[in-house]
C-alpha cells in the first residue's frame, strides 16, 4: 500500500520526494496548509475588492508592470502569461524531473504565501497522484524570474492546453484531463503567476541529483577500497591519528569509512612493508573524496532549504501586505549546483587515475598488462580506461560554472539572472557520467582481484560488495564488449541504497 505524504510547505525531505517521484507515495495537503491557502486567497481578493493595484494581479509583467489591467481582463492576463511563457525548447525533461517539479511547486503553494485558490493546488496534486506528466522542454530557463518557461509548460496542462504523458501515451492536455476524469481549471487573479514564478525546475533536478550524488560518493569510496586491495595499497595513510591533525570532518569521514570497509583485509599493507608511499590517487583518497563530500553537504543543505521555501512574487504576507521581492531568483541553487559539479567531477577524475594504475603494467604492481587474461593477443581492459578518460574530459567542460554568466531579460528590468537551471541540468549529467567512470574502476578492480586470485584475501565487506559488482560484469576470461555491463552497473550505482543501508 502506498503511503500518503502530507505537504505542509515546511517539512518535505529529499527522501520523501524520491518516494513520490517513484510512485511509492501519494500526496495530499495538510489541514494546516488547506487553511493557509484559503486565507492567502482571501487576502488577494480583499485587496482587489478595495481597488488596490498589485503587480502581476492587475498589472502587466516584468517591464510591462506599469500597465494597469482592467478587471474584465484579469483572467485572460493569467492565461496569456502561461501561453506566452511556454517557449521552452530541446529534449523534454524526464518524467522523474517533471514529477519532482510538481511536488515542489505544490509544496511551495502549500505554505500559503501565493494567493492561489485551493482547487488549483488540488488539481496539481491530482496530476501527481494520477500520473499526468506535462511535457516540459528542458531548455529555456534563465533562472530568474524563476523557471518561467518550464513551469509554464507544466501549468498549461492544468488549464487543458499543452501536452502531457498519461498511461504511456503523449496526448493533448485536454485529453489527458479527460482520460483521468479531471476538469481543467479556469485561472483567476494571481494564479498564473503563482504557478510559474519559482525555482522548481532547477530545484527538482537538484534534489534528484543530490540523491544520486550521495550514492555515487559512497560508490567512489567503495571503488577506492576495492582498488586499494587490488594494488596492495598502504592503509597507514588512513590512520585516524594522522587524519586528525588536519581536522576537516569530511576527510575523517572518508578515512573512517574506508578503514571500516577494509577491516579484516589481508591484501592491504602498512607503510614500509612493500613500499613507503602510494601514489596520490591512493594515498590522498580521504583528502580528495572528503573535499567532494564538502560540496555534497553544501548542496544538500541548500536544496533542503529551497524545497520548503516560497519562491513566488509577489508574496501575500500574513498581515495582508502584498509585496514584490526577489525570491524567484535562483542564485542560491545555481551556486550550490555549480559547487556540486566540481565536487562530483573530482570523484570521477581521481577514479580514472586509479583505473589507470590498475591497467598500466608500469604501475600495477605486477598484474598482467591491461588486466588481460592473455596479454598481447588480448587487449584486456585497455579501452575501458580510454572510455573513463573520455568521460572525465567531458565532465571538465560541463563543470564550468553557469552561475557566473548573466544575460539581461525583459527589457533590462530583469538585469541579472542565475542560469541555475543550466547548472542543475549539467550537474545531473556529470553525476551520471561519474557513475560510469566509477563502474569502470570497480570492474577493473574486480578483474585485478580475479587475475591475482585474491578473493579470499579481501575484507568481508569488500568481498560481499564485489559479488554484487560481478552480477553485472563477471571476470573476463577473454576479450569481449563490456559497454552494456558498464551501463548496467552505473545505473545500479545511481539507484541502489545498498551502500547507504547495509554498509554504513
Catalytic positions, written as ranges: 55
Q: Measured between alpha carbons, how far is 386 from 474 in angstroms, rounded to an integer?
A: 20
Is the bond preceding residue 314 a cis peptide, omega within 30 degrees? yes
Question: What residues contact residue 208 under an 8 Å CB cut-off, 6+ apart?
Answer: 17, 18, 21, 96, 97, 100, 428
C-alpha cell at 238: 588512513
Q: Which residue is it, cell 518550464?
A: 150
Nearest alpha carbon to residue 110 among 205, 200, 208, 15: 200
| DSSP designation for 495 | H
Burial class (CB in 10 A: 0-12, 13-18, 19+), 425: buried
| DSSP designation for 404 | G
Nearest alpha carbon to residue 422 among 93, 138, 98, 96: 138
CB 452 within 8 A of CB 232: no
CB 120 within 8 A of CB 27: no
Question: What residues contact residue 30 under an 8 Å CB cut-off, 6+ apart?
Answer: 6, 7, 8, 110
Question: What residues contact residue 14 under an 8 Å CB cut-off, 6+ apart?
Answer: 207, 210, 211, 300, 303, 304, 307
CB 99 within 8 A of CB 79: no
Q: Measured between alpha carbons, how far is 431 from 440 in angstroms, rounded to an integer?
A: 14
Q: Measured between alpha carbons, how far is 79 from 82 in angstroms, rounded to an integer?
A: 5
Number of neighbouring beta carbons within 10 Å of residue 376: 8
At 138, which helix (H) or strand (E)?
strand 137-139
User: Would strands 25-29 and 3-7 be described as parallel, antiparallel, or unpaired?
Assistant: parallel
User: Would strands 163-166 and 169-172 be described as parallel, antiparallel, or unpaired?
Assistant: antiparallel
Burial class (CB in 10 A: 0-12, 13-18, 19+), 90: exposed
Q: Measured between alpha carbons, how far is 43 from 449 in angstroms, rounded to an integer?
A: 68
Amino acid at each position: 500500500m502506498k503511503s500518503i505524504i502530507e505537504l505542509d510547505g515546511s517539512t518535505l525531505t529529499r527522501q520523501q520526494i524520491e518516494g513520490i517521484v517513484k510512485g511509492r507515495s501519494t500526496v495530499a495537503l495538510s489541514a494546516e496548509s488547506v487553511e493557509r491557502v484559503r486565507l492567502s486567497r482571501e487576502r488577494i481578493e480583499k485587496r482587489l475588492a478595495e481597488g488596490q493595484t498589485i503587480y502581476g494581479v492587475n498589472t502587466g509583467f516584468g517591464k510591462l508592470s506599469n500597465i494597469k489591467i482592467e478587471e474584465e481582463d484579469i483572467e485572460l492576463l493569467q492565461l496569456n502569461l502561461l501561453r506566452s511563457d511556454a517557449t521552452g525548447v530541446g529534449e523534454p525533461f524526464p518524467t522523474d524531473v517533471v514529477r519532482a517539479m510538481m511536488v515542489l511547486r505544490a509544496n511551495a503553494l502549500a505554505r500559503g504565501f501565493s494567493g492561489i485558490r485551493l482547487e488549483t493546488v488540488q488539481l496539481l496534486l491530482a496530476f501527481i497522484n494520477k500520473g499526468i506528466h506535462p511535457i516540459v522542454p528542458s531548455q529555456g530557463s534563465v533562472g530568474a524570474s524563476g523557471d518561467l518557461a518550464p513551469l509554464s509548460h507544466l501549468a498549461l496542462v492544468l488549464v487543458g492546453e499543452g501536452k502531457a504523458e498519461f498511461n504511456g501515451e503523449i496526448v493533448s492536455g485536454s485529453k489527458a484531463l479527460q482520460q483521468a476524469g479531471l476538469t481543467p481549471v479556469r485561472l483567476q487573479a494571481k494564479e498564473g503567476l503563482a504557478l510559474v514564478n519559482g525555482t522548481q525546475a532547477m530545484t527538482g533536478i537538484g534534489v534528484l541529483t543530490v540523491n544520486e550524488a550521495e550514492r555515487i560518493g559512497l560508490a567512489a569510496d567503495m571503488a577506492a577500497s576495492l582498488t586499494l586491495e587490488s594494488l596492495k595499497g598502504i592503509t597507514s595513510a588512513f590512520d585516524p591519528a594522522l587524519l586528525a591533525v588536519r581536522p576537516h570532518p569530511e576527510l575523517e569521514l572518508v578515512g573512517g569509512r574506508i578503514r571500516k570497509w577494509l577491516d579484516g583485509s589481508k591484501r592491504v599493507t602498512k607503510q614500509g612493508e612493500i613500499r613507503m608511499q602510494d601514489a596520490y590517487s591512493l594515498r590522498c583518497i580521504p583528502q580528495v573524496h572528503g573535499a567532494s563530500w564538502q560540496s555534497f553537504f553544501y548542496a544538500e543543505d541548500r536544496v533542503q532549504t529551497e524545497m520548503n521555501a516560497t519562491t513566488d512574487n509577489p508574496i501575500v504576507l500574513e498581515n495582508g501586505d502584498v509585496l514584490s521581492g526577489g525570491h524567484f531568483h535562483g542564485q542560491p541553487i545555481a551556486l550550490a549546483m555549480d559547487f556540486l559539479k566540481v565536487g562530483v567531477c573530482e570523484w570521477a577524475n581521481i577514479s580514472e587515475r586509479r583505473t589507470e594504475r590498475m591497467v598500466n603494467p608500469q604501475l600495477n604492481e605486477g598484474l598482467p598488462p591491461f588486466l588481460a587474461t592473455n596479454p598481447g593477443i588480448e587487449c584486456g581492459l585497455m579501452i575501458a580506461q580510454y572510455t573513463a578518460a573520455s568521460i572525465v574530459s567531458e565532465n571538465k567542460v560541463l563543470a564550468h560554472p553557469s552561475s557566473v554568466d548573466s544575460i539581461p531579460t525583459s527589457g533590462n528590468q530583469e538585469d541579472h539572472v542565475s542560469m541555475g537551471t543550466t547548472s542543475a541540468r549539467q550537474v545531473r549529467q556529470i553525476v551520471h557520467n561519474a557513475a560510469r567512470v566509477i563502474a569502470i574502476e570497480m570492474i577493473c578492480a574486480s578483474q585485478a582481484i580475479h587475475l591475482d586470485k585474491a578473493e579470499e584475501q579481501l575484507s568481508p565487506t569488500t568481498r560481499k560488495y564485489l559479488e554484487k559488482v560481478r552480477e553485472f560484469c563477471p571476470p573476463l576470461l577473454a576479450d569481449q564488449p563490456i559497454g552494456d555491463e558498464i551501463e548496467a552497473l552505473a545505473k545500479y550505482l545511481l539507484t541502489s541504497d545498498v551502500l547507504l543501508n547495509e554498509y554504513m
